[in-house]
Structure 1
Amino acid sequence: MELLGTRLRHLLDLLDGDVAAVYADLGLAGFRPRYTPVVRLLAAGPRAIRDIAEATGVTHSAASQTVAQLVEEELVVLAPDPADARRRVARLTPKAEALLPVLEAEWAATATAVAALEAELPYPLGRLVDETLAALSRRPMRDRVTDALPPLPRGAQP
């Protein structure tokens, strides 16, 4: 599977690009697909960034970056956590709350489109991704590559 990473990035670019185009068609130009899971999560109530990361399956850094972008877009505000002032809690702004009906409709339409796409495939993509993530959790890619490397001269190793 040569260029697997490149092909996966291309697949993600196609998926995200087309969903972003749908947002633009709906009058939400600039709204990024990565925002939707966070906005939908925060629609249920304020959350700490760590909780956002865990609930959306991304790293703390990625969740923090997305929240920062949402703050710049005036869709989210951050405040100290009343239970622990060292943590910040994100909550939706009225501007974001006004978008929720459109985002929920888009989310449902995207889920329908994903199901139709997966029906065209010999193996559901979501299942394959889940199984791949589980396999990498059991044995990281770094270990797999390292084990496949031939013995290298001493100076060639970092």
Structure 2
Amino acid sequence: MGNANNPMKHPDPAAVGSLLRHVLELLDGDVAKVYEEQGLAEYRPRFSPVVRALLAEGPLSVRDLAAATGVTHSAASQTAAQMARAGLVTHSPDPLDARRRLIGLTPKARALVPRIEAEWEATAAAMAELDEELSMPLGRLLREVAQAVGRRPFRERVAAAYRARGGGLES
């Protein structure tokens, strides 16, 4: 696809999903490089929402962590597993329900919080600068997209468009 110095030359305007993934790769890739330059090579940008949620709420089940971070149960579970491999979270039995496991920050993760918070502040400032170059703030646009798809799922929109063109896709 390319990198920040060589963006996609001819993105297909109809391939919105590919473009969204490309933009996310550019943003996350550069933030990951900042972490690496700061000596935090094992830390990934996708860990930040988990760290924020666990700092704010304490140990959480995967389901509660998914809800707190706005991702699927599967994504929260995968991220927690990656973080456990990096020594950043633990999985321990829930004292109220032995069937559930709670995810909590390790002392290693807590020791990194000041450095991670400094990066969060720098990222927010960089995002504000980027937003100034855009016709509308990226976060605002993405929230609008999420709300619109929440009102009418994209699958329904695709099915309706398909039917309007004489196709047989069921909704």
Do these two structures clear the TM 0.5 threshold for a shared fold by scoring above it?
A: yes
* C-alpha contact 1:38 1:52 (8 A) present in aligned 2: yes
Match of 2:39 in 1: 27
1:4 alignment counterpart = 16
The one of 77, 88, 92 equivalent to 2:101 is 88
TM-score (norm 1): 0.92
**TM-score when scaled to structure 2?**
0.86
The one-letter amino acid paired with 1:96 is A
Equivalent residue, structure 1, for 2:10? none
Per-residue Cα deviation, 1:22-57 (whole angstroms, up to 9, x for no partner): 000100113110011112222232111111111111
Measured against aligned partners, the alpha-carbon deviations of 1:47-103 in whole angstroms (never above 9, x if no partner) come to 111111111110111001100111111111101111111211011111111111100
Note the 1:67-86 alignment, pairs <5 A: 67-86=80-99
Q: For the Cα contact (< 8 Å) 1:42–1:91, is it kept in 2?
A: yes
Matched residue, 2:5:
none
Q: Structure 2 unaligned runs (5+)? A: 1-12
Larger RCO: Structure 1 or Structure 2 (Cα < 8 Å, ≥ 6 residues apart)? 1
Tell me the SS of whatever aligns to 1:143. Answer: helix
1:46 aligned residue: 59
**Displacement, 1:152?**
3.4
Alpha-carbon distance in 2 for matches of 1:36, 1:126: 16
Distance 2:63 2:121 in 1: 26
Q: RMSD of the TM alignment (CA)?
A: 1.6
Specify the code of the residue in structure 1 equivalent to 2:87: E
Runs of 4+ in 1 over 6 A off after TM superposition: none
Structure 2 Cα separation of the partners of residues 108 and 4 of structure 1 = 29
Whole-Å separation in 2 of the counterparts to 1:152 and 1:112: 47
Q: Secondary structure at the match of 1:88?
A: strand
Unaligned 5+ segments in structure 1 are none
Residue-by-residue CA offset, 1:108-151 (whole Å, 9 max, x unaligned):
11111111111111111111000000000011111111111122
| Residue 99, structure 1, aligned to residue 117, structure 2 | no
Distance in 1 (alpha carbons) for counterparts of 2:41 and 2:124: 21
The percentage of aligned residue pairs carrying the same residue is 57
